[in-house]
Amino acid sequence: MKKTSQQEKRISKIFHIVMFAYLVACFFIMNAIYSNYYESEKNNIIDYAESTKLFINTKDIKTLNVDLSDIENESYQFLKTNLVDLKQSRNNIEFAYLMKKIDDRIYFLVDSEDPDSKDYSYPGQLYFEATPNDFEPFLSKQTVVTDEISDRWGTWISVLVPIVDGNEVVAVLGLDYDAVSFKQNILNQTLNYF
């Protein structure tokens, strides 16, 4: 009777060890798959943002004064229309906007929001929540995908693309994706893998 009890304990212990090892292995496999899908989705939003920047004319940007007078500027209105269309072209883009760095501060030039919206950023509005991620494309002249960042509008994963004229970054195109939806989409792809 004692031998049987000891064997059952041993078998139970082995079973628990095997199950634990299996769960650890599953965790690492799912993490690797999630990371792979995350990188793929990140590359997709980079490719999309970089392709759309080709339709932004630096001459239009250079005519802007970075203040409320821009609202009457034809170039502002043209850029605004393009950003609205850009946002509507993909239902997962929450905000599309152009920013400019002046004296170590970042200002909004134009955004995709209706002026009556509480989320509207007027031309010349200071982006006082700007993080080092937001400054990166101005400095490196490279596209950046931010980590999850929160500001007054929500929590985002953003792709920031420098608009370069000659050797100067005249603006940065930003596309914001809701962080929860972005990560949920990747998690769904990961779970669908199995």
Which domains occur in the chain, in start order? Answer: 38-185 (3.30.450.20)
CA atoms of 26 and 58, how far apart (whole Å): 49
Mean predicted confidence (pLDDT) in 65-82: 94
CA atoms of 26 and 166, how far apart (whole Å): 50
pLDDT of residue 4: 64
pTM, rounded to two decimals: 0.81
Q: Which of 102, 98, 70, 74 is nearest to 86 (CA)?
A: 98
pLDDT of residue 162: 96
Whether residue 3 is predicted with pLDDT greater than 70 in this model: the reply is: no
pLDDT of residue 194: 63
Whether residue 186 is predicted with pLDDT greater than 80 in this model: the reply is: no
**96 within 8 A of 111, measured Cβ to Cβ:** yes
Query: Is 165 or 37 the better-scoring residue by pLDDT?
Result: 165
Average pLDDT, the chain: 87
| Tens-digit pLDDT profile for residues 28-65 | 777 788 778 888 788 888 888 888 887 888 999 999 99
pLDDT of residue 2: 55
Whether residue 25 is predicted with pLDDT greater than 60 in this model: the reply is: yes
**120 within 8 A of 138, measured Cβ to Cβ:** no
Mean predicted confidence (pLDDT) in 169-182: 89
Query: Is 105 or 180 the better-scoring residue by pLDDT?
Result: 105
In a 13 Å sphere around the CA of 102, the CA atoms on its Cβ side amount to 13
pLDDT of residue 122: 95
Q: Which of 170, 179, 188 is nearest to 95 (CA)?
A: 179
The H or E element spanning position 99 is strand 95-102
pLDDT of residue 189: 67
Whether residue 1 is predicted with pLDDT greater than 60 in this model: the reply is: no
